[in-house]
Chain A
Amino acid sequence: MGMTLTEKILANHSGNKQVKPGDNVWVDVDVLMTHDVCGPPAISIFEKEFGEGARVWDPEKMVIIPDHYIFTKDKYANRNVDILRAFAADQNLPNYYDVGTDRYKGVCHIALPEEGFTRPGEVLFGTDSHTCTAGAFGQFATGIGNTDAAFIMGTGKLWVKVPETMRFVFDGDRLPPYLMAKDIILQIIGDIGVDGATYRTMEFSGPGLKTMNIEDRMTLTNMVIEAGGKNGVVEPDEITEEYVRKRTDKPFTAVYSDPDANYHSTRRYNLEEMVPMVAKPHSPDNKATAEELEGTELTRAYIGSCTGGKLTDFIAAAEIINGNSLKLDTYIVPATTEIARGLETERFNGKTLLQVFKDAGCKIGRASCAACLGGPEDTFGRLNSDEICISSTNRNYPGRMGSKQAQVYLASPYTVAASAVTGKITDPRVFIQETII
């Protein structure tokens, strides 16, 4: 019987010819990623369980990317970065991206592909739920806790239950000009619910994917965890190949789902019929169309994070923001330092993106997770009281971006930008359709 892409990767990495959903297998790990919040406790467990002087199983395969609490005065948060630095030095880890140096990257899920760690056909574990982002490259990638990470640090292995795969097929020859991958994944999460894919893989396929660039695909896989998914995958193609080859010389073997693979279920979406979507407070599946919420009062706009702080997200926002004054406090946080540099080089109508945002009065933050998950009180853009924020981030449970009195609406960078201009939730078609021929 055929296997899905995910089943094949897990079979290849566990020494099995065939695996099926429900099997428990021990897989060999290609990459383990951790950051400043979960790295220190994982290191403590590693040292306790494997003994003083224990060595990481393969220093080339461990990647440490501090990104969560970076620009803060919190002494405990700063101590956690010190712990990572000391551990990386002691273990001679080549893939450590230290704060305050030229190597500093920012948000791990975007830094991983930029640095060539998201290779098709491989297995990546990370101590962060949005590790699933890397599935956009045809990798098996999922989030784990500190104990599991410590186990991998010592052994290079972890047990995995083989998930069933849900298939999402996209039809349509083009993404409408006002539609972003964020709208598609918010629609899907709204349809299946925040536990609609629990314990399962979400596999995205179909002709519509050809119209999505690698960053669009990363937005889709990033948010599978918001439906409870174990991992999300997109079959690698020439778009994947082109991106990965620019970033690494390491060999990899892409795998693909067999035509006779078994799926838990199949859903089809026609991209050309989809519309801008919003997730209302306080759950990512609390869906409405932007049009239905037109006029909803807001006090803040936020564009950033692994989901909505990539270069194409800022290009989209700039299309709408350019030349407008804004009615909301608007925060711009590039996910990585590479994207921050892109804001200074990428141009829209002759102006750099940075200039577009500065001219409109946006507040520009430094590359990091920033207010996406609240963090210490002095975090840039954090919602410290009863703000009503529209955000290109990924989660809006109570208190996610700071205060539990705050309300968060999740939307695409187009919808966030359109709403920043008017001060109320606004369907971006108001701005975009008239400029499209």
Chain B
Amino acid sequence: MIKGKAFVLGKNIDTDQIIPAAHLVYSLEDPEERKFYGRYALSGVPSEQSGLPEGGIPLVPEDKFETEFTIIIGGPNFGCGSSREHAPAALQIAGIRAIVSPGYARIFYRNSVDGGFVVPYESFEDLSSKVKTGDELEIDREKREIRNLTQDESYPIKELGSVADIINAGGIFAYAREQGMM
């Protein structure tokens, strides 16, 4: 079960906002360079839209490489734009474990799953106007619901469907090995 603080964003958060293009130069392998993806994760989001409803909350404080938040609640079309896999990777490196949105741009969704970076859960409704940044959440995959411990509410989420096997395996390579494809 994934449990932790929520970080709330609006609609159409594109991958340039998730990790601005100027930072795509760092190695994702080198442990020292890799940390910068955490530092700059979501740094492209305009301040007033970062950490809703109040805004003005950066995911990662300026002098840090990791965030205190665990779950992103996003509006529709999360991860649209460029195909950069650095986007879900940056969120994972910052410390994010799951995203909940009513809908994803397909390349971001696929990258999240195939690379095993973060679990992209789909909600039935846009939760970005219900959940507040800082709320304590619990994602219960078995019961297909998110419990908001701060507001004492719960929201249903969709089954992971045909990608569940890849998520369970931990990514496309692990899945392909399980299936005897490589």
A interface list, Cβ under 8 A from B: 24, 37-38, 40-41, 44, 49-50, 69, 74, 76-77, 79-80, 127-129, 131, 143-148, 151, 154-155, 159, 161, 194-195, 198-199, 225, 228, 230, 283, 373-377, 395, 397-400, 402, 404
Query: B156: CB under 8 A from chain A?
Result: no
**Contact in complex: A37, B84 (CB < 8 Å):** yes
Q: Which of A129, A154, A159, A377 is the one whose CB lies under 8 Å from B81?
A: A129
How distant is B144 from chain A, measured CB to nearest CB, in Å?
A: 21
Q: Which of A41, A69, A77, A375 is the one whose CB lies under 8 Å from B86?
A: A41
23 A-B pairs whose Cβ atoms sit less than 8 Å apart in the complex: A37-B21, A37-B25, A38-B84, A38-B85, A76-B25, A76-B27, A128-B83, A143-B83, A146-B111, A148-B110, A148-B114, A154-B182, A194-B12, A194-B77, A195-B77, A198-B105, A225-B81, A228-B105, A373-B16, A373-B82, A376-B22, A395-B16, A397-B17
B: interface residue count bin: 35 or more
Whether A198 touches B106, Cβ cut-off 8 Å, given contacts A37-B24, A147-B114, is: yes
Interface residues of B in 132-182 (CB under 8 A from A): 162, 171-173, 176, 181-182
**Contact in complex: A127, B29 (CB < 8 Å):** no
**Contact in complex: B25, A69 (CB < 8 Å):** yes
Query: B74: CB under 8 A from chain A?
Result: no
Q: How far is the CA of A129 from the CA of B44 in the complex (A)?
A: 19
Q: Which of B14, B83, B114 is the one whose CB lies under 8 Å from A395?
A: B14
Q: Which of A50, A77, A127, A159 is the one whose CB lies under 8 Å from B83?
A: A127
**Contact in complex: A80, B25 (CB < 8 Å):** yes
Query: B53: CB under 8 A from chain A?
Result: no
Whether A146 touches B106, Cβ cut-off 8 Å, given contacts A154-B182, A404-B46, is: no
**Contact in complex: A41, B105 (CB < 8 Å):** no
**Contact in complex: B25, A147 (CB < 8 Å):** no
Q: Using A76-B33, A398-B44, A398-B45 as known contacts, list a sample of 5 further A-B pairs with CB atoms less than 8 Å apart, ordered by residue number in A.
A: A49-B173, A129-B83, A144-B111, A155-B182, A376-B25
Q: Which of B20, B172, B181 is the one whose CB lies under 8 Å from A147?
A: B172
**Contact in complex: A144, B25 (CB < 8 Å):** no
How distant is B174 from chain A, measured CB to nearest CB, in Å?
A: 10
**Contact in complex: B110, A145 (CB < 8 Å):** yes
Q: Give the nearest-CB partner of A372 in chain B.
A: B21
**Contact in complex: A283, B17 (CB < 8 Å):** no
Query: B107: CB under 8 A from chain A?
Result: yes
Query: B28: CB under 8 A from chain A?
Result: yes
Contact with A along B101-116 (1 / 0, CB 8 A): 0011111001100110
**Contact in complex: A147, B107 (CB < 8 Å):** no
Q: How far is the CA of A107 from the CA of B24 in the complex (A)?
A: 17
**Contact in complex: B44, A145 (CB < 8 Å):** no
Contact with A along B20-38 (1 / 0, CB 8 A): 1110111111000100000
Q: How far is the CA of A283 from the CA of B83 in the complex (A)?
A: 17
**Contact in complex: A399, B25 (CB < 8 Å):** no
| Top 5 A-B residue pairs of the complex, sorted by shortest distance between their CB atoms | A145-B85, A76-B25, A145-B111, A143-B83, A195-B77
Q: Which of B46, B86, B104, B111 is the one whose CB lies under 8 Å from A398?
A: B46
Q: Which of B17, B76, B115 is the one whose CB lies under 8 Å from A145?
A: B115
How distant is A79 from chain B, measured CB to nearest CB, in Å?
A: 8
Q: How far is the CA of A399 from the CA of B15 in the complex (A)?
A: 10
**Contact in complex: B27, A40 (CB < 8 Å):** yes
Query: B80: CB under 8 A from chain A?
Result: yes
Q: Which chain A residues lie closer than 8 Å to B181 at the CB level? A: 155
How distant is B53 from chain A, measured CB to nearest CB, in Å?
A: 19
Q: Which chain B residues lie closer than 8 Å to A373 at the CB level? A: 16, 21, 82
Q: Which chain B residues lie closer than 8 Å to A151 at the CB level? A: 114, 172-173, 176
Q: How far is the CA of A228 from the CA of B182 in the complex (A)?
A: 32
**Contact in complex: B80, A374 (CB < 8 Å):** no
Interface residues of B in 29-71 (CB under 8 A from A): 29, 33, 44-46
Q: Which chain A residues lie closer than 8 Å to B24 at the CB level? A: 37
**Contact in complex: B86, A397 (CB < 8 Å):** no
Q: How far is the CA of A40 from the CA of B26 in the complex (A)?
A: 10
Q: Which of B25, B110, B115 is the one whose CB lies under 8 Å from A74?
A: B25
Q: Which chain B residues lie closer than 8 Å to A77 at the CB level? A: 25
**Contact in complex: B83, A144 (CB < 8 Å):** yes
**Contact in complex: B12, A283 (CB < 8 Å):** yes
How distant is A152 from chain B, measured CB to nearest CB, in Å?
A: 11
Q: Give the nearest-CB partner of B33 in chain A.
A: A76
Q: Which chain B residues lie closer than 8 Å to A147 at the CB level? A: 85, 111, 114-115, 171-173
**Contact in complex: A199, B176 (CB < 8 Å):** no
Whether A145 touches B83, Cβ cut-off 8 Å, given contacts A49-B173, A129-B107, A373-B21, is: yes
Q: Which chain B residues lie closer than 8 Å to A41 at the CB level? A: 27-29, 85-86
Q: Which chain B residues lie closer than 8 Å to A397 at the CB level? A: 12, 14, 16-17, 80-81
How distant is A277 from chain B, measured CB to nearest CB, in Å?
A: 19
**Contact in complex: A146, B16 (CB < 8 Å):** no
Q: Which chain A residues lie closer than 8 Å to B21 at the CB level? A: 37, 373-375
Q: Which chain A residues lie closer than 8 Å to B12 at the CB level? A: 194-195, 283, 397
**Contact in complex: B107, A24 (CB < 8 Å):** no
**Contact in complex: B106, A199 (CB < 8 Å):** yes
Tell me which of A38, A147, A374, A377 has the highest count of chain B C-beta atoms within 10 A of its own C-beta: A147
Q: How far is the CA of A38 from the CA of B82 in the complex (A)?
A: 11
Q: How far is the CA of A159 from the CA of B107 in the complex (A)?
A: 13
Q: Which of B26, B77, B85, B103 is the one whose CB lies under 8 Å from A146?
A: B85
Q: Give the nearest-CB partner of B85 in chain A.
A: A145
How distant is B114 from chain A, measured CB to nearest CB, in Å?
A: 5
Tell me which of B27, B80, B176 has the highest count of chain A C-beta atoms within 10 A of its own C-beta: B80
**Contact in complex: A148, B81 (CB < 8 Å):** no
**Contact in complex: A398, B17 (CB < 8 Å):** yes
**Contact in complex: A195, B103 (CB < 8 Å):** yes
